[in-house]
Structure 1
């Protein structure tokens, strides 16, 4: 995952994966950080932490 700040926007670039059933089985995950991830992007000298799940409905 690549995270940058441009102006007043947080830009997140993450690799897509083959749709995989979520743990509940209700959705198909297409991108995830697998929990919270500390990034190199900084706000007020503190790292931005991102937890991301992108999914589709079957």
Structure 2
């Protein structure tokens, strides 16, 4: 491949990515929100488990 072909290929790739960036951003923000929710739920569960263990011990 020549430099011109490589540049053209990179340009087409970047244009393709730009079209999908908004979709990816929406997906990542939704995923991030879900991850935070699950993490907070897990932390709450862990905290409650440690408290119950302390009470029973």
Question: Shorter-chain TM-score category?
Answer: under 0.3
TM-score, structure 2 length as denominator? 0.18
* Higher Rg: 2
Compare the two structures and name the one with the higher strand fraction. 1
Pick 1 or 2: higher relative contact order, CA cutoff 8 A, min separation 6.
1
